Chains A and B, each alone.
Chain A
Amino acid sequence: MIPLRPRLSQASNTRREAFWAWLFILPVTAGFFLFVLGPMLASLALSFTKWDLLSPAEWAGTRNWHSIFSVSVVHTPQARDEASGELLFQCGRHRNVPASELADWQQRNDERTGEPFDCRPGYPRDREVLPERFGVVSEIALFGQRWLLGARDHVLWIALFNTVYMLLAVPIGMALALAVAIVLNQQLRGRNLLRAVFYLPNVLPIAATSVIWLWIFNPEFGILNHLLGSVGLPAEGRWLSDQGTVKPSLMIMGIWSALGFQMLIYLAALQAVPSQLYEAAVIDGAGLWGRFRFVTWPSLSPTTFFLLVTGMIFGFQSFAQPYIMTRGGPGNASRTVVMEIWKNGFADLEMGYASAQAWLLGVVILLITVANFRLARRWVFYEHEQHV
């Protein structure tokens, strides 16, 4: 072979290579500095200001951060009648029912709606026991005692809880994706078609699939309740309009839309597992489970790790689906942190405060990711590593 540039020395060759290397990564690097690092630093600075987008930002010191972390736990016993000292209950919509009348109430029906009264211990109004301007994040009521978790920005903490709750969809979805990938890795008739079908949700716009799922979940006309009913299962689920089921409903949809991508990555990883490992395992007498447990699973662990970390990061950024499908409702039951950041920034015009919230989210993501990497040492195996 004839050297193309025989005159160049080793050093100048390296320099040349470095030049070209930098040139090739320039678009991405410039993009990172301009559109990621720049705005990130700007938002960190903004988190110490009050800025409404329309007038100049004003220095606010740590006020935004102070508001975010204003939380408190308050314990309140069941309410008592001031005069008689009797314990008070709430029956249906009626408050302040004394204990002595409880039995009577429980036997009556609401005269307006005709429904029986459901009675539970009554507690003082939230705003009478919480610090001024605090709202309820969560409450636990047991044996006539109640603990309230209150916060100045209660919606943010509810949103953070919702977001973390819905992250459960990531491992569940990955398990399903792995199962599908293993099946589609076999010699099946029409497997290419099936692979394409599973991947399809990934290429559809979120806005379109969200509307489809709105219809699927519709309690009266939706196909989900219809199918449940036709196989004899309870079909009364209110899905997206019930505070208790809205998060699982959104998770189901999230799993569905991520399945194709996760399956594809697993499929690629499965095909890279060296077949001699399986042969060795068979010789050692491993069955189906044994081969999965000791060959497939460890070989896939870098892929599992990758999907877990990226899935969780994406999960923390969840916005479009709940925004389109529920607007964060009913109540605040499906509000996510990013929705809350968006609302504070663009609806409330509190860009400084929204920046602080964004940094809180960023730090939470960072901590979870670091924890993931730490834990990964225990269960992720790379091919070049020596393990016994």
Chain B
Amino acid sequence: MKRIVFVLFATLLLCLAAAPLAAQDEEPLQLTYLHWADPTADRVFQELIDQFNEANPDVFITLEGVPSAGYVDYLLTSIAGGTPPDIALVADGDFAVFAPRGALVSIEEFVNASEVIDLDAVWPSGPDRYRFDAETGAFMTGPIYELPRDVGPTALYINVDLFNELGVPLPDPNVPMTWDQLVETGIALTTDVNGLHPNEEGFDADNVETFGLGTLTVPGWGLGPIFGNGGHYVSEDGRTWIAHEDQNTIDAIQFLSDLNHVHRITPPPAVLEGINVWDLFNTGRVGMNWNGRWATTGFRETLDFEWDVRPFPVGNSGEIRAFAEGCSVSGWSGSVGLAIIAGSKGAEHPEQAYRFIEFIYGPDGQLAQAALGYNIPAQMELANTDAFLQPGQMPANSQIFLETTRCQLPGPWSFVPHWFVWQPEPWGRMWQDVVVDNVAFAEDALLDVAGDLQAGLDDAWATIDEQRMGG
């Protein structure tokens, strides 16, 4: 009896062990791709994945989605728990958390050997933010770990109908406004219930019908005006906090405060509670609003007025910061990329996993996304065609996005580690005092928080350097 059981058991074990060996030739390699779930993205990417799976019989990609709010928590815990996804979206702001800790697999050799990806033919600011040099601990240089799904530039969205209704001339689509022009346009677009403007006697600031410009409620959006005035947050090497010593940065923050408190062309904070400034724009009460290219897809479906885009204004210093040579527009762009996660099945089979990443970033994948209005094709050639520009659709001046994609800088989070950990709290205190409450000058408040910011920056670099020395 015992012997029979043993034989049966041994046979079963052998079968189990042999099964994967025998099946490997026929069964495709199963890989998971984790992304930020939302209905549009799910639809677009499931379509792309179906195309990929059909063209690649040896790989089968399964889409997994987690809403962006809990996305990083999910990714971290799945890595810590030993069950990471094979391929995952890792945004430029999270890259510095994952790459230095060895959580991502370098794809340098595949990119170099690729016949599809030509890094000279794509917007350079895209892939560069996914480079990390483990030897020196520097970002934006060294081996590449991700290819971007997209690069999302930012611009000033304008309500064309409101401009026409109030008889305000539309700003030039190709030349950025100066700060003075921005204020002048903003005043003309701001009206109270009696039709008065903020510079007129008797203007009723408590009952404003239309606002000229959306407030920058999120302090992170200060980036646009700061870069547009040639300002810096940190030193070139990303290790020293310099915003409080940089007159261009100080002036930009003070200008943002003045928009609220002196010129009164932006919605005061009390109006914005519970709704965001984008909702005010959507309901036609804001003439101009800062936003990313990513808003376009939704705007096409929901806005019932004519809208367009303009480049960010240029500050009084006359200097702008840009990623490329010969740029006249400034601002910042965001990006998310696809990475192979270390310790996953994708890391064991990087060639197959990379093939999917390359597909999403390559011409076919990009064209499909652009056709759905989803993003700007990474290939510069491709972007400058009707496939992306889509004449006849709003915004009329979508070519602005080509120049902004070329010129806009990545946020400092791309070359400074753990930005979202140490920067928002002290920066938010400064922002509250200067821009929201107007109880301090930008110069003083920036100096007040400089020590905390430098301490946070030091801590962040210490973790990177420890990792480097330890590894």
Query: Which A residues have a C-beta under 8 Å from some C-beta of B?
Result: 52-55, 92-95, 112-113, 125-127, 133, 135, 155, 214-215, 217-222, 238-241, 329-332, 346-349
Q: Which of B418-448 contact A (CB under 8 A)?
A: 418, 420-421, 425, 428-429, 432, 436, 438-441, 444, 447-448
Distance from A328 Cβ to chain B, minimum over Cβ atoms (Å):
9
CB-CB under 8 A from B448, the residues of chain A are 125-127
B10 CB within 8 Å of chain A: no
Residue of A nearest to B425 (CB): A155
The residues of A that contact B103 with a CB separation of less than 8 Å are 54
Chain A nearest Cβ from B286, distance in angstroms: 14
Q: Is B138 an interface residue (CB 8 A)?
A: no
Chain A residues within 8 Å of B102, by CB? 54-55
Judging by beta carbons under 8 Å apart, are A349 and B76 in contact? Answer: yes
Given contacts A54-B103, A127-B451, A346-B73, contact A221 B275 (CB under 8 A): yes
* B interface: dominant SS: helix
A93 to B441, CA, bound (A): 6
Known contacts: A93-B438, A331-B432. The answer to whether A219 contacts B270 by CB under 8 A is: yes
A-B contact pairs, 16 of them (CB 8 A): A52-B101, A53-B77, A93-B444, A95-B444, A112-B262, A125-B447, A127-B451, A135-B452, A218-B274, A222-B274, A239-B273, A241-B269, A332-B425, A346-B72, A346-B73, A349-B76
Interface contact B273-A238, CB-CB below 8 Å: yes
Chain B residues, Cβ within 8 Å of A52: 101, 463
**B196 beta carbon closer than 8 Å to chain A:** no
Cα A214 to Cα B421 with chains together (Å): 26
- A-B complex: 4 closest residue pairs judged by Cβ atoms: A214-B274, A218-B274, A54-B101, A219-B270
User: Nearest residue in B to A212 (C-beta to C-beta)?
Assistant: B274
Give the residues in chain A near B262, CB-CB below 8 Å: 112-113
A112-B262, A127-B448, A349-B97 as given contacts; A53 in contact with B274, CB under 8 Å = no
Q: Is B193 an interface residue (CB 8 A)?
A: no
Complex CA–CA separation, A112 to B264 (angstroms): 11
Q: Are A92 and B421 in contact (CB under 8 A)?
A: no
- A40 CB to nearest B CB, Å: 17
A217 and B274 within 8 A (CB): yes
How many angstroms between the C-alpha atoms of A221 and B425 in the bound complex? 29
Other A-B contacts than A54-B80, A155-B425, 5 sampled, CB-CB below 8 A, are A54-B98, A125-B448, A135-B452, A238-B270, A349-B418
Q: How far is the CA of A347 from the CA of B444 in the complex (A)?
A: 29
B8 close to chain A: CB less than 8 A = no
Shortest CB–CB separation between residue A162 and chain B, in angstroms?
A: 15
Chain A residues whose C-beta falls within 8 Å of the C-beta of B467 in the assembled complex? 55
Residues of A close to B37: CB separation below 8 A: none
Residues of A within 8 A of B76 (CB): 53-54, 346, 349
Bound: A348/B97 CA distance, A: 9
CB-CB under 8 A from A55, the residues of chain B are 101-102, 467
Bound CA span A214–B79, Å: 35
Which listed residue, A92, A221, A347, touches B439 by the CB 8 Å rule? A92
B469 to chain A, nearest CB (A): 13
Q: Once the chains are docked, how many angstroms separate the CA of A91 from the CA of B102?
A: 52
Evaluate whether A220 and B270 lie within 8 angstroms (CB atoms) in the complex, with A53-B77, A346-B73 already known: yes
Q: Which residues of A contact B98 (CB under 8 A)?
A: 54
Question: B258 at the A/B interface (Cβ < 8 Å)?
Answer: yes
B170 close to chain A: CB less than 8 A: no
Name the residue on A nearest B426 (C-beta): A135
Contact of B261 among A113, A125, A155, A218 (CB under 8 A): A113
Using Cβ atoms and an 8 Å threshold, which residues of chain A touch B440?
93
Minimal Cβ-Cβ distance residue in A for B455: A133
Q: Which residues of B contact A214 (CB under 8 A)?
A: 273-275
Which B residues have a C-beta under 8 Å from some C-beta of A? 72-73, 76-77, 79-80, 97-98, 101-103, 258, 261-262, 269-275, 418, 420-421, 425, 428-429, 432, 436, 438-441, 444, 447-448, 451-452, 455, 463, 467
CB proximity of A247 to chain B, nearest CB, Å: 15
Min C-beta distance of A34 to chain B, whole Å: 15
- Name the B residues within 8 Å of A217 (CB-CB): 273-274
Given the complex, which residues of A lie within 8 Å of B79, measured CB to CB? 53-54
On whether A219 and B273 interact (CB within 8 A), knowing A93-B438, A112-B262, A347-B421, the answer reads: yes
In the complex, the answer to whether A112 meets B421 with C-beta atoms within 8 Å is no
A54-B76, A127-B448 known; A218-B275 Cβ under 8 A: yes
Instruction: Give A53 to B418 CA distance when docked, in angstroms.
Output: 15
The complex places the Cα of A113 from the Cα of B258 at a distance, in Å, of 8
Decide: B271 and A219 in contact? CB cutoff 8 A: yes
B451: chain A residues within 8 A (beta carbon): 127
B259 to chain A minimum Cβ distance, whole angstroms, is: 12
Closest A residue to B436 by beta carbon equals A330
* A143 vs B94: C-alpha distance when bound (angstroms): 48
Residues of B within 8 A of A331 (CB): 428-429, 432
In the complex the two chains form, what is the Cα distance from A382 to B300 in whole Å? Answer: 66
Verify A53–B80 contact, CB threshold 8 A: yes
> Which residues of B lie under 8 Å from residue A218 when comparing CB positions?
273-275
A133 surroundings in chain B (CB, below 8 A): 452, 455
Cβ of A346: which chain B residues have Cβ within 8 Å of it?
A: 72-73, 76
CA distance A239 to B272 in the complex (A): 12
Within 8 Å CB of A95, what residues of B? Answer: 444
Alpha-carbon separation in the docked complex, A346 to B69 (Å): 12
Question: Which residue on B lies nearest to A239, using beta carbons?
Answer: B273
Query: Which of these, A92, A127, A240, A347, contacts B452 with CB under 8 Å?
Result: A127
CB distance from A298 to the nearest CB of B (A): 44
Contacts of A92 in B (CB 8 A): 439
A215 partner residues in chain B, CB cutoff 8 A: 274-275
| A240–B455 CB distance below 8 A | no
Contact A241 B270 (CB under 8 A): yes
A96 — nearest CB in chain B belongs to which residue? B444
- The CA of A264 and the CA of B459, in the complex, are separated in Å by 51
Known: A217-B274, A240-B274. A348 touches B418 (CB 8 A): yes
Q: Provide the bound-state CA to CA distance between A57 and B455, in Å.
A: 23
Min distance, Cβ B104 to any Cβ of chain A, angstroms: 10
A55 and chain B: residue at smallest CB distance: B101
Measured CA separation A222–B274 after assembly (Å)? 9
Query: Is A220 a contact of B271 with CB atoms below 8 Å?
Result: yes
Report how far A147 CA is from B241 CA in the complex, Å.
Answer: 29
A358–B258 alpha-carbon span in the complex (Å): 42
Which residues of chain B are within 8 angstroms of A126 by Cβ–Cβ distance? Answer: 448
Q: In the complex, what distance in Å separates the CA atom of A133 from the CA atom of B454? A: 10
Closest chain B CB from A92 CB (angstroms): 7
- B101–A330 contact, CB under 8 A? no
Complex CA distance for A369 and B68, rounded to whole angstroms: 37
| Distance of A215 Cα from B274 Cα, bound (Å) | 6
A267 to chain B minimum Cβ distance, whole angstroms, is 33
Given contacts A52-B101, A54-B79, A349-B76, contact A241 B273 (CB under 8 A): yes
Separation of A113 and B254 alpha carbons in the complex (Å): 13
Complex Cα gap A238–B268 (Å): 11
